[in-house]
Structure 1
Amino acid sequence: MSRRLLVTGGAGFIGSNFVHHVVEHTDDHVTVLDKLTYAGNRASLAGLPEDRVRFVQGDIADAPLVDELFAQTDAVVHYAAESHNDNSLHDPRPFLDTNIVGTYTLLEAARKHDVRFHHISTDEVYGDLELDDPERFTENTPYNPSSPYSSTKAGSDLLVRAWVRSFGVQATLSNCSNNYGPYQHVEKFIPRQITNVIRGIRPKLYGKGENVRDWIHADDHSSAVLTILDKGVIGETYLIGADGEKNNKDVVELILTLMGQPADAYDHVTDRAGHDLRYAIDSTKLRTELGWMPRFEDFEAGLASTIDWYRENEAWWAPAKDGVEAFYAAKGQ
């Protein structure tokens, strides 16, 4: 039996990948609510069947609109967020408006309409680990956010937990490691480097490139979220990861190698303020309790597939590319 899903931020990177995944793997009908800020792109939903996917442009902090949509919905997957660390350091206010006030608005609607709610979060709420730390983040790791972005995501997580406990909202949460794959905005690390090489621009690496991220393909994130929506225990948090730890230097060099360039054909630029050292996810709970497994366990294969997508879809990313590079050039990055 098909559900009526509302996906907030469904024209963004991870949200649009989820919508594609739902259409491919279920009979569910999807309504996408997206504000279409710079990170949202209607083209990311191109080609999806109109009888299965409806698009609504709007703000998750718009309570009357949210109320109207929740009244027509069986379950909500909440991706919408301001999510770029550099932008949060430049202007934190939009992160408060969307990540805190927007999530509160959705939770109140979920409470009113008794709608199943799944909240998407990030491993960045846990802060960072030392490069040689044998530990990884688990569901019990204390929160220690280090940027306006991660602190507002941490705040939104705590709101969800409070609404579950105080008001009985039927919600689950997931914190995921760094995603890569199709439809990711060219301001982000991997697509920025791929599109630089395509354009004949040398890739840029913050500092020494020793910072470690735990990479997961967006399609694997989508399958994990769908698993949690179907099988997750209300009130529980699940960490999503694919054991993909790589430092930024290795990722840049692998991109260059896969694209037929010398591995050292990149430039070092000034490091970002408060740049977290290492993220690492332990997804044992998700795998053992809900039976989920990633499909892209080989990072190199997933990266090669992503490179192919950007090569084949320049019309999708080209309109934003010049503005992004001008922004970073002004900062010496």
Structure 2
Amino acid sequence: MAAHRRPLRRLGSGGTTARTAVTLTLAGAATAAGLGGTGNAAPEPTPAQVGATVDRLYREAEVATEKYNGAKEKAGATERRLEELRDEMARKEDRLNATRETLGSVAAAQYRGGGLDPALQLVLSADPDRYLEGAAVVERVGSRQTAAVGRARAELREVARLRGAARVELASLTSRRAELERHRATVTGKLEAARRLLSRLTAEERARLGPGQDRATRAPGAREGLSASAEAPSPRAAAAVAYAYQKLGSPYVWGATGPDAFDCSGLTQAAYRAAGVSLPRTTYAQIGAGRGVPRSALLPGDLVFFYSGISHVGIYVGDGRMIHAPNPSAPVRLAPVDSMPFAGAARVV
């Protein structure tokens, strides 16, 4: 019965995304049907409550996005290794075929002369695995033939090794692709739940909520100790900051690395890529890509990280501000460094 539903405010700390969305939907449906009354339905959430829930969903989606980015990076590396193995195996098979052709010529001559050496019979078998299991160079053959048979044996073993390695990489790639899909489903589910919640608000209410994560209040003196405007510590850091400024207003798209849309770590990676520096793909890898710096010593170009799980990153630009890609409700923008729980900083160059 509707009378037994919990109010939305109790779901913020422990309810799942699905239950939150369902509760809101059902509450709205009951009100529209004229069933909303004291004791009959959960109270309609206030815009502030909706905003808090949406912020939580965005943070959870960002955690899942970084996991997706990490899994995608690993899947890409696995796919490249698999292709390299396949290329190497093709080269080895070409060499093996050339060796077999040489031995075929010897075999034809022997056959015409009245017999075929057992070693050649094994090498020229249609089943190379049988050769690997049971082949042995028999008693005495000419030195040239012995060398050719030895090469064929080694090449067959190498091809078999590469085939085994390729099977392992293929299994790993299949597993990583499944992991990608799990994270993709998590991200899209949370973002869709946030979209549904925001759609319940009027345009004026959404505007009052502000740009998601950036609306956190700042305590008095919170900027104390932050460096004011300062020069970047290197030309590359300055180039990364310049790139970030050029991308102000670009949309947030999870999993995107530019040039026209970004997620948070995609923006910082793209900024430093434009400066000639290669950064890892994920926030939790980027924080280890440079030298740690205290908050009081931040300089333009430093990467600034937020939340206990290192799930968000921006690029510091001086005067206590950063440029970051917040979430789907806000484009790439300037924001105070103290607008989110600070977790650390790294100087890349």
TM-score range, shorter chain: under 0.3
Larger relative strand fraction: 1
Normalising by structure 1, report the TM-score: 0.26
TM value normalised by structure 2: 0.25
Which structure's CA Rg is the greater one?
A: 2
